[in-house]
Structure 1
Amino acid sequence: MSILEKHVDKIEQGTKIREYLKTELGLSTRLIRSASINQKIFVNDKVVKMNRVLNPGEIIKIDLAKDESQDIAPEKMDIDIVYEDEDILVVNKKPFMVVHPTKSYQSGTLANGVINYFMESGQNYIVRLVSRLDMNTSGLIIIAKNQFSHGMLSKEMTENKVEKRYLAIVHGIMKEKQGTIDLPIYKPEGIEMGTRRVIDERGQRSITHYKVVEEFKAASLVECKLETGRTHQIRVHLGHLGHSIYGDVLYGDGDNEGDLIKRQALHAYGLNFKSPRSGEELALRAELPEDMKELISKLR
């Protein structure tokens, strides 16, 4: 059973528990209301109402366990777990894998495998995705195990407080070995454009910090750190600079590069963020997948 516990230290006289949970623990109104209705909020091991006034030295406990179900069929598959605790699961997604079931992909998704893992390990959770990746982008994905961690980390994501690092293999030798791309990304209307984005002043401000890690004969391994998180941000920005990612069908010449790599050579290798429960800084890393290692060998 997952219990969130907080020892009340200094507190203003007359502070009610509802206010304290929102300001000090950062809990959402929805979570507080749900936990209160289900009598899962305790002070000194006694169920309390939300107008209860708190005193220094008291101990608050919130039972985060919840009976939930999800219409995702469990499927046994090999999942590369990079980190796990009582609140989150971080996995290294393989390339060519959809994150969550869709009309086109009812099975074989990461969520199918995670649900199966939860069941086999005796954990009664649903899949709450904090982050996502394109089908053909590999790397780290955060899955929350409860409403508390999902709310906290989603807020951090929205405020760009989760540091996301990627490795990309691009065409050409970059003139500037490091720098910042600060160009707005826009999604044009029209069916013919599909999911493609463009650089356009009508778009949202988008910031990518990049650094060349290694150079080959006519290609470069580039690290990208996102300050914003727009759809296809790295692919659009690097392509706009004239250094499209190998294997990228949408923004590069991927249709003609199948003998080199079967998908865009983009890997979400690093995540830095604070644990929603302890506040401890987590720095998680995932090694380059085999197809990108093989591409590097071919380009050397």
Structure 2
Amino acid sequence: MWLRNMQSYKSLIWQHNGDEKTLKKVLLEDMNISVRLLYTLKKENRVLLNEKTKKFHDIVNNQDIIKVELPKEKNDYEAFEKEIKIIYENDDLIVVEKEPYMVVHPTKGHPDKTLANALVYTFHKKGILGKIRFVNRLDRDTSGILIVAKNSYCHSVMTKDDKMWEMDKTYTAVVEGEIGDSEGTIDMPILKDEDGIKRIVHEDGQRAITHYKVAKRLKGATLLEVSLETGRTHQIRVHFSHMGHPLLGDELYGGSMKDIKRQALHCSSLGFYSPRESEKIIVRSELPHDIKNLIETLSV
């Protein structure tokens, strides 16, 4: 059972309820600590059992308290003073709303003023010391929901064994043309193209599965609710382009730039389990103005 303290993002406190186990088993099986993190904790003596340092093969009894001090971490990025909309927050993570056109983390072409830099500023304001770790990802021109881990423990739990792809993710997309069926599934493998940027549907690629429902039929376009069973790079963009219905504004995959200047794609809802919360968390994000305006412009 998880217990809390004043700065829970820095440490983990667990009360063991049940039969006796070794400390190592409790850390790995009950607290879900990764082998990599376990090695660091052991090396730096960061685990206490009933306020005392113990060996990992020592026995944990019913009602014993385990405290893990998470490793101190140094942030990699410079702060960028920009306010970010926070949708949800708990001890282990922050869920933010990413604006379109904003690069997620620094690259050679975009060394600063990225979302990661803005999050450093947000973390400093909140007194959170640590690295910026994204649990999910969005392309630069895709807007919507991003999860940011406050500590290495949260990041490892939420990305281990493809757990992030077990999340209930819903995207809103506007594609060219009229899609006949009211709903459907695209099951086509995706491969990185030779140019290194684009992806293509190819039999040698990784399996990719996209589900969609028609939300509204527009003038020369279709508003869709899209969910992913897999998480390949550019998956939604590639699948609908291959079907002859590229996303509006998606120049890379053949979409028209007439009515919107970036791919009409928004991560609108996300359901997930946070490491120390028992119930599923569902967050939602409103459509940004450019997609709202696009829908209004194309409404019949």
For the aligned pair, the TM-score class normalised by the smaller chain equals: over 0.9
2:237 to 231, 235, 238: 235
**Structure 1 residue 249 corresponds to structure 2 residue 251:** yes
With normalisation by structure 2, the TM-score equals 0.92
Q: Take 2:157 and 2:48, find their aligned partners in 1: how far apart are those partners?
A: 21
3-state secondary structure, aligned to 1:160: helix
CA deviation profile, 1:218-252 (whole Å, cap 9, x unmatched): 21110111000000000111111211100001112
Q: Which residue of 1 aligns with 2:4?
A: none
Unaligned runs of 5+ in 1: none
Q: Take 1:214 and 1:16, find their aligned partners in 2: how far apart are those partners?
A: 56
CA deviation profile, 1:146-174 (whole Å, cap 9, x unmatched): 11100001116456212221110111121
Contact 1:41 1:63 in 2 (8 A): yes
CA deviation profile, 1:23-55 (whole Å, cap 9, x unmatched): 122211121222233332122222222121111
2:14 to 6, 11, 15: 6
**Structure 1 residue 218 corresponds to structure 2 residue 220:** yes
AA aligned opposite 2:291: M
With normalisation by structure 1, the TM-score equals 0.92
Unaligned runs of 5+ in 2: 1-6
Q: Take 2:72 and 2:15, find their aligned partners in 1: how far apart are those partners?
A: 27
Provide the alpha-carbon RMSD of the alignment. Answer: 1.5
Alpha-carbon shift at residue 78 of structure 1 (Å): 2.0
AA aligned opposite 2:139: D
Aligned length: 291
Closer, same or farther: CA 143–159 of 1 in aligned 2, 3 Å: closer
Alpha-carbon shift at residue 279 of structure 1 (Å): 2.9
Map 1:192-207 → 2, pairs under 5 A: 193-207=195-209
Alpha-carbon shift at residue 95 of structure 1 (Å): 0.4
Q: Which residue of 1 aligns with 2:139?
A: 134
3-state secondary structure, aligned to 1:250: helix
Identical aligned pairs, as a percentage? 42
Map 1:53-202 → 2, pairs under 5 A: 53-64=59-70, 66-155=71-160, 157-158=162-163, 160-189=165-194, 193-202=195-204
Q: Take 1:281 and 1:246, find their aligned partners in 2: how far apart are those partners?
A: 33
Contact 1:156 1:162 in 2 (8 A): no
CA deviation profile, 1:70-104 (whole Å, cap 9, x unmatched): 33110111201111111001111000000000011
Alpha-carbon shift at residue 118 of structure 1 (Å): 0.7
Contact 1:89 1:142 in 2 (8 A): yes
Q: Take 1:39 and 1:281, find their aligned partners in 2: how far apart are those partners?
A: 33
AA aligned opposite 1:69: K
Q: Take 1:284 and 1:245, find their aligned partners in 2: how far apart are those partners?
A: 24
CA deviation profile, 1:160-213 (whole Å, cap 9, x unmatched): 212221110111121111011111111133xxx341111111011100111011
Q: Which residue of 2 aligns with 1:45?
A: 51
Q: Take 1:41 and 1:73, find their aligned partners in 2: how far apart are those partners?
A: 31
Q: Take 2:48 and 2:73, find their aligned partners in 1: how far apart are those partners?
A: 22
Alpha-carbon shift at residue 217 of structure 1 (Å): 2.1
Q: Take 1:210 and 1:242, find their aligned partners in 2: how far apart are those partners?
A: 15
In the TM superposition, structure 1's runs of 4+ consecutive aligned residues that sit over 6 Å from their partners are none
Q: Take 1:294 and 1:188, find their aligned partners in 2: how far apart are those partners?
A: 33
**Structure 1 residue 290 corresponds to structure 2 residue 298:** no
Closer, same or farther: CA 141–17 of 1 in aligned 2, 3 Å: same
AA aligned opposite 1:236: V
Q: Which residue of 2 aligns with 1:17?
A: 23
Q: Take 1:253 and 1:214, find their aligned partners in 2: how far apart are those partners?
A: 19
Q: Take 2:163 and 2:50, find their aligned partners in 1: how far apart are those partners?
A: 34
AA aligned opposite 2:50: N
